[in-house]
Amino acid sequence: MKKLLFISLALGLILSACGTAATQPTLPAQTGTPTITPTTTQTPTSTITPLPTIPTFTPTFDVSTIVTVTPAEKAVCPKEDDSVKLSFRFDDYSIDINQEILKYLNSGGGIREVTKELSKIYNQNSYRFIDITNDGVSDLIFDGFTQLYDYFYILWCQDGQYSIFSSEEAVGISIGNRIYEVIDMNKNNVPEIVVYYSGGTGSGIYHFFVGEWDGKTFVNLTPETYLSGLDQLQIDDVNGDETLELILTGDFYVYGRTPPWRQSIHTYMWNGSYFAEQPIEYVQPNYRFQAVQDADAATLVGKLDKAIQLYREAISNQNLEWWSEERQDFEQAIVDAPWLYEPTPSVEPSEDPTEYPRLAAYAYYRIMLLHLAQRQEAEAASTYQTLQSTFGNDPYAAPYVEMASAFWEAYQSTQRMYDGCAAAIQYAVEHPEILVPLGSHYHGWQAKIYEPADVCPFR
């Protein structure tokens, strides 16, 4: 999962040229009076109000700073005694089986006998026999034995004795502990144990433990990590830095949250101390406004190629659906009907003819910005001209064309992105109604609510 760059670092990236934007979809017939009235483009003044800062995210970790842990000396375990036999059953829930196993091993019992018994009741999701302390001796990871709530445990030996680690202090009580993988994610030569579990009956909340041996005990490198509903778990190098990321896809709709809703993607990336959560992403957009919001979000973290692709989708992908305040009310009524014991509404609202020209014009404007940020002047000029020729006479798109013109004129006079952004943001301040179609209260609980500073992120 995924290499994040600051916007300032993204200016030097080289992306494929946008060229002329794709042909727009056929628009529905425009009727009635537009809700946004075009205004005359205002020439930016020479005095520029300082622009607001943009929140920045954790920069990509420098893998060259990783200190590889030298393997420890081979652990000394208790000498096994063939006369010591198992005197208890692993399915006897009336005893503390974990402590019985520890006593058995420290009195000379064989670890292979324990793993043999575990294999009769567990699969690899519930126990592993593998070296996780980097000392050349396999350690035992296993789930607890109670029928409902329990912890997971790790048995390892040193100085001639076995010790036991309980997840009680690290993650608390849990249900259905599952060992997903044992793998060296941060490339320091010590493997991590990736375990996930439910926090309680019927909650659907999954918690995650990425544990690593620190020479004394096992520490959780993903503290306070949880997700409501888990559809997919991956471990992958998504940013190409050789360390591995934990990628969780899930989340479920909870009553009270306004539609529309998509599954969210949570990426945890090694930052030198722990696996830090990156900005939340979402699965493929269903609605045109989602493609625009996803593109704006990708721009903020330096994924400029992805941003351009999403802006193009917003312009040309006819499979993306429309959204409006009336549609939000309709979809919300469908969600609420079972809870309120009301009939499900059946009359769908009519498509809003104003949304496409507004969002498509804004997408052309943002593509122009990305070209300029990468010093692709010819591509930016071509995109600006396409915007003018496609939407210059469209009453719904006019304010976005005017905002683009305000930016363009300020930028051309100084060749500074800062000055162009100042002009565009000032236009948005004076015409706040242009922010509503981009993201406002009716776009759902996952959507971004736009402010003037969001229309131009380059500082």
Task: Give the domain ranges of the chain.
Answer: 7-57+286-455, 97-278
- The pLDDT, as a whole number, for residue 185 is 97
Hey, what's the torsion of the CAs at 233, 234, 238, 241, to 10 degrees?
Answer: 120
Closest CA to 373 of 5, 4, 14: 14
With the C-alpha atoms ordered 438, 444, 446, 449, is the resulting torsion angle positive or negative?
Answer: positive
> Cα separations (Å) of 137 from 125, 158, 185, 187, 459?
21, 10, 20, 20, 54
Q: Up-side HSE of residue 143: CA atoms within 13 Å toward CB?
A: 25
Closest among 439, 301, 314 to 366, alpha carbons compared? 314
Q: Is the Cβ–Cβ distance between 393 and 34 less than 8 Å? A: no
What's the pLDDT at 24?
37
pLDDT along the chain (459 residues), means of 10: 35 34 35 35 50 64 84 91 92 87 96 93 91 94 77 91 87 79 96 86 78 93 88 94 95 80 94 94 97 97 96 98 96 90 91 98 98 96 98 97 98 96 97 98 95 94
Query: What is the rounded CA–CA span in Å between residue 238 and residue 4?
Result: 10
Prediction pTM value: 0.82
Question: 357-392 burial, b if ≥16 CB within 10 A, otherwise e?
Answer: bbbbbbbbbbbbbbbbbbebeebbebbbebbbebbe
pLDDT of residue 25: 38
CB under 8 A, 24+ apart: contacts of 273-280: 274/221, 274/222, 274/223, 275/185, 275/186, 275/210, 275/221, 275/222, 275/225, 275/245, 275/246, 276/58, 277/225, 278/1, 278/2, 278/4, 278/57, 278/58, 279/4, 279/57
**Rounded CA gap, 112 and 96, in Å?**
20
Query: Cis link prior to 260 (omega < 30° from 0)?
Result: yes
Distances (CA, A) of 74 to 78, 103, 131, 184: 13, 22, 11, 19
**Measuring CA to CA, which residue among 297, 347, 324 is closest to residue 442?**
324
Query: Of 330, 396, 323, whose CA–CA distance to 361 is shortest?
Result: 396
